[in-house]
Amino acid sequence: MALVAGEASGDILGCGLMQALKVQHPDVSFIGVGGPRMEAEGLRSYFPMERLSVMGLVEVLGRLFELIFRRRRLVRTLIAERPDVFIGIDAPDFNLGLELKLRRAGIRTVHYVSPSVWAWRQKRVFKIREACDLMLTLFPFEARFYEEHDVPVCFVGHPLANTIPLQVDRTAARQVLGLSEQAEVVALMPGSRGGEVSRLGPLFLDAAVRLNSLRSGVQFVVPCASQPRREQLQEMLAGRNLGLQLLDGRSHEALAACDAVLIASGTATLEALLHKRPMVVAYRVANLTYRLLRRFMKTAYFSLPNLLAGRQLVPEYIQDAATPEVLAEAVAQLLKSGQEQTEGFAAIQQTLRLDASTQAANAVLKLVAD
């Protein structure tokens, strides 16, 4: 079998899938591109996965010729190897073109993790239908979209739904982080990238100052994705009187310990949902980007919890609607009563808790057997 992952999250998914495949076929062999986790499971990687880990338009343009060269070489190599199936893991800009050429050469293709085609640029679904024998989705609303467009699809659930326990120990997490058992604790999670933190960090910190005036004694924790993000937030704290603890990583401990979360829209909202922590979701982008998104967005909501719930389960604020006053009031309300959210989160976790790796392996093997 051949697999290609382009970043760390894909390496994790690929590792789980390979483990599940080996349970049923211990003699299976793997070729393609992956990271250290996939290589530890036996993948023969043709080149380092980091060569595909490119984010941002300028960065992609700077590496465009290399990416084109590597994809063309992969196409030739995999057509010569004739694997039973090719599985592209996320990285749609690279993998969908690869899948299209391999499928035309008679190799069955699977794409694992749907791009956000259901939200914007929906016409991409026609390319996906041409490129993939099977789409594996992490969320049920994605599968419904593909069914409506006649793309073979299998909803497999999300691995995190099995990784994060149904009941999270708040007391133990607070002990680990040195937080008071009696205090109200709010986690601030303004994103993991520098651009996100530059736009949302001051907003979230100002909201925390405002929240302190509404509810005295609140403790704040901020998990920092990296040392540069920590330094960025430390600079922003100057002049703001806040009892706040910066953490090096440890986002799961922060979520387990807190009573509510003010969080950037993105995959971290799924982690907050699975920890059953009431949340307020906010996001800001460049004004030009926002105008384009407003024009092309096809969904009523932008936050993942609301997309999964099919209704406005969590408050979500974007661009100018996200102000310190509005966010502070929304978090204060959740500290009083966030039960409706947590009950909704528990129901969603059950729908996602399917042992995704095993489900994905079963779907791949069924395709190979047909």
Whether the per-residue pLDDT at 21 is higher than 70: the answer is yes
Compute φ and ψ for 247, nearest 5 degrees. -115, 145
pLDDT at residue 62, rounded to an integer: 53
pLDDT at residue 165, rounded to an integer: 93
Whether the per-residue pLDDT at 94 is higher than 80: the answer is yes
pLDDT at residue 227, rounded to an integer: 93
What is the C-alpha separation between 301 and 283, in angstroms, rounded? 12
Compute φ and ψ for 175, nearest 5 degrees. -65, -40
Q: Which residues pair with 2 in a beta bridge?
A: 31, 86
The torsion region of residue 212 among left (phi > 0), alpha (psi -120 to 50) and beta comes to alpha
The model's pLDDT over 196-240, given as tens digits with 9 standing for 90+, comes to 899 999 999 999 999 999 998 899 999 998 899 999 999 999 988
pLDDT band at 63 (very low <50, low <70, confident <90, very high): low
Half-sphere exposure of residue 264: CA atoms within 13 angstroms, side-chain side: 23
What average pLDDT does range 171-200 have in this prediction? 93
Give the percent of the chain with pLDDT over 90: 75
What is the C-alpha separation between 30 and 272, in angstroms, rounded? 34
> By C-alpha distance, which of 71, 82, 87, 84 is closest to 134?
87
Tokens of 170: 């708040």
How many Å separate Cα 348 from the centre of its chain? Answer: 16
pLDDT at residue 298, rounded to an integer: 66
Average pLDDT, the chain: 91
